[in-house]
Chain A
Amino acid sequence: MTVAHHIATHYLSVGYGKHKVLCNISLRVEAPSFILLAGRNGSGKSTLLRTLLGLIECLDGDIQISGASINAMTALQRSKLIGYVSSKPFAINNFKVAQVVATGRAPYTNWTNVLNNNDKFLIEKAISDLKIENIADKKTDAISDGERQKTMIARALAQNTPIIILDEPTAFLDYPSKKDLITMLQRLVSEHNKIVISSSHDLDLLIPVVNNIWFCNKQLVYSDTPENMMQYDDFKMFYNK
């Protein structure tokens, strides 16, 4: 783990089928780094994140993760590098919260899915990091949307990947939970040398803490530090709105 993990895109275009949402994206980020992905609704934030995850194919260009092209990786190899929290609430019942968090360890277990002590330790740690011990034994249909969101974040933490991608993780959370989550993401970056990429509309909370902002605007992605980004007219208009 001496080499810092990094993500680099080369003239990447993302979108669905013939419809390009974002073009010519050339970004580079090295661990540790906390990145805010900003932009209006429909500007292509989720599409970019899903492409970085390998969930949809690149329309053009390439994504390199720690030196390897994402297309050359198997799903299993990717799952050990990148964790994910989706913006869509999942709808699954008859599962306990702790069991959902435990699925984060799936890339490391064999086909019988038996957890070893390290797995159990990471699951418990993720649960306590998200402060959801009180609901760990509850079924997922008996908890709120915010608690579901925290469950899926804990699941991504248990996966223990050097990169974590979160799609609007603060959306369903109350204000104290938002602040807690952001503090925790900051700690993941500073203490555990991770790359955290998070899309969000909670700019006020995130801009003071992130290292970089990726701003999706008019089919392009601009990357800069928060200080420099504030000089940019389009971003100022977007932010003041």
Chain B
Amino acid sequence: MNQHLRQIVVFAVLLAAAIGLFLLDFTTGATQISLHDLFLYLTGNENSEVPAILIREFRLTRVLTAIIAGASLSVSGLLMQTIFRNPLAGPYVLGISSGAGLGVALLVLGASFFGMNAFQTGGGLMVVLAAAAGAGLVMMIIIAASLKMRDNITVLILGILLAAVISAVVNLLQYFADSFSVKSFVIWGMGSLTALSFNNLSILIVICIPLIMGTIYLCKPLNLFLLGEDYARVSGVKVHSLRIAVFVITCVLAGSITAFCGPIGFIGIAVPHITRWIFKTQNHFVLIAGVVITGAIFMMVADIISHSFASTGVLPINSVTAITGIPVIVYIVIKNQKNYF
């Protein structure tokens, strides 16, 4: 009971922090927009100084994207760490983000051969589908490998090698593509929370939120899976179905975020560990809610950092998450003698 009370308090504190960061992130950026402007916008009042379109398309969309990207990547990282029984699993490390990148590259750079720009003509949904398909391809290879080779390190190395092959293929595609497409692809590759329109964001919301909610149904089997595959099966878990469910959810979550925001690294690995550490539990019922809010916080902090140097423009979000996320991962690797799995 004591532990439950503590977890509720921690959750309340995180929620308060998230709301604070939401407001702070909202006011951070090149244009001065105050909370009063947000209040006027939300209550539907006229605002002569800041047009509503600026608030909606630029600021609100960016902050909500940060929240949903942080939450989605963290959830897919958590699911992958449990299913692979590997503390270093995550959509970025295992090459899932690279796979999504390959899908996008094939679409964007491929479209350039026909004189089109996929980001503009194909529309958001095409990019999502391409990214999810690419992510699914890599995930299938990784799952097949992890069934054959029970060794965690081998699977990680395979993920890294796959990412290397994919980046080589992407380089080749870039070599042959026209400069305009290459530029838009390279910028996409740096990661950005600002490239989305409000319509793109609504696609993300419609895809990601139901999937994240759906993972609550997986909490019980995921908890049992922590005891090992045999114990999960003798406890009545359909392990095969669980793997497929996790496979689909992680690919679509990581794939769709990657499609719109670029490959954002290290959130997926780092946030589940931070969450286990603050909530002191392995219970997925607590962890799912925990990673959603911690992931959102992590991403908003990264977004605030990337916009705090407004005089020089916006820093690539990928660099910010790497610089803030990698120390956490280094800490995990060093401390992993007391392993989680």
Q: Interface of A with B (CB < 8 Å)?
A: 50, 53-55, 74-76, 78-80, 82-84, 86, 88, 90-95, 99-100, 103-104, 106-107, 109, 111-113, 141, 152, 159
**Listed stretches B26-34, B254-262, B333-341; interface member:** B333-341
Closest to A82 in B: B234
Q: Which residues of the partner chain A approach B39 to less than 8 Å between Cβ atoms? A: none
Pairwise interchain contact B236-A92, C-beta atoms closer than 8 A: no
- Inter-chain CA distance A79–B220, complex, in Å, is 15
In the complex, which of the residues B224, B276, B338, B339 contacts A106, with contact meaning CB atoms closer than 8 Å? B224
Give the residues in chain B near A53, CB-CB below 8 Å. 230, 233-234
- Contact partners of B237 in chain A: CB under 8 A: 75, 106
Min C-beta distance of B229 to chain A, whole Å: 9
A60 to chain B, nearest CB (A): 22
Instruction: For A109, give its contact among B220, B238, B281 (CB under 8 Å).
Output: B220
Output the nearest chain B residue to A104 by Cβ-Cβ distance.
Answer: B235
Q: Contact check: which of A79, A88, A141 meets B235 at CB < 8 Å?
A: A79
Q: How many angstroms between the C-alpha atoms of A93 and B85 in the bound complex?
A: 12
Assembled-state Cα–Cα distance A82/B340 (Å): 29
Residues B236 and A76 in contact, CB atoms below 8 Å apart = yes
In angstroms, Cα B235 to Cα A100, docked, is: 12
**Which residues of A lie under 8 Å from residue B281 when comparing CB positions?**
94
Docked complex Cα distance between A95 and B281 (Å): 7
Nearest opposing residue in chain A for B280, CB measure: A94
Judge whether B114 is part of the interface by a CB distance below 8 angstroms: no
B144 within 8 A of A: no
B216, closest chain A residue (CB): A111
Instruction: Give A109 to B223 CA distance when docked, in angstroms.
Output: 13
In contact, A95 and B226 (Cβ under 8 angstroms): yes
Of all A-B residue pairs in the complex, the 8 with the closest CB atoms, nearest first, are: A79-B236, A76-B236, A84-B234, A107-B236, A106-B235, A94-B282, A113-B220, A75-B236
Q: Which secondary structure dominates where chain B touches chain A?
A: loop
Q: Is B176 engaged at the interface, CB distance under 8 Å to the other chain? A: no
CB distance from B221 to the nearest CB of A (A): 9
For residue A114, give the distance in angstroms from its CB to the closest CB of chain B. 10
Residues of B within 8 A of A88 (CB): 228, 230
Chain B residues lying within 8 Å of A113, measured Cβ to Cβ, are 219-220, 223, 285
User: Are B339 and A91 interface neighbours, CB within 8 A?
Assistant: yes
B234 touches A92 (CB 8 A): no
Q: What separation, in Å, do the CA atoms of A111 and B231 have in the docked complex? A: 17
Give the chain A neighbours of B226 by CB distance below 8 A. 92, 95
B331 close to chain A: CB less than 8 A: no
Asked if residues B339 and A103 are in contact (CB atoms below 8 Å), the reply is: no
Contacts of A99 in B (CB 8 A): 283
Structural contact, A103 and B227, CB atoms closer than 8 A: yes
CB nearest to A91 among chain B residues = B341
Return chain A residues, CB-CB under 8 Å to B180: none
Bound state CA distance, A92 and B341, in angstroms? 5
How far is A106 from B227 in the complex, measured between Cα atoms in Å?
Answer: 12
CB neighbours (8 Å) of A91 from chain B are: 339, 341
Are the CB atoms of A93 and B340 closer together than 8 Å?
A: yes
CA distance A99 to B239 in the complex (A): 21
Considering the chains assembled together, what is the distance between the CA atoms of A45 and B98 in angstroms? Answer: 44
Return 25 A-B CB contacts under 8 Å, by A number: A53-B234, A55-B233, A74-B236, A75-B233, A76-B236, A76-B238, A78-B236, A79-B234, A84-B231, A84-B234, A88-B228, A90-B227, A92-B282, A93-B338, A93-B340, A94-B282, A95-B226, A99-B283, A103-B223, A104-B235, A106-B224, A111-B219, A112-B220, A112-B285, A113-B220
Closest Cβ of chain A: how far from B240's Cβ, in Å? 9
Q: Mark B97-133, 1 if CB is under 8 A from A, else 0.
A: 0000000000000000000000000000000000000
Query: Given A91-B339, A93-B338, A109-B220, do A78 and B234 touch, yes or no (CB 8 Å)?
Result: yes
CB distance from B4 to the nearest CB of A (A): 12
CB contact under 8 A between A90 and B231, given known A75-B236, A75-B238, A113-B285: yes
Q: How far is the CA of A91 from the CA of B224 in the complex (A)?
A: 13
Check if A141 sits within 8 Å of B338, measured CB to CB: yes
For B280, what are the chain A residues with a Cβ–Cβ distance below 8 Å?
A: 94
Docked CA distance A54–B235 (Å): 12
Known A92-B341, A93-B338; 14 more pairs at CB < 8 Å: A75-B236, A75-B238, A78-B234, A84-B230, A86-B230, A88-B228, A91-B339, A93-B339, A94-B280, A94-B340, A100-B227, A104-B235, A111-B217, A152-B231
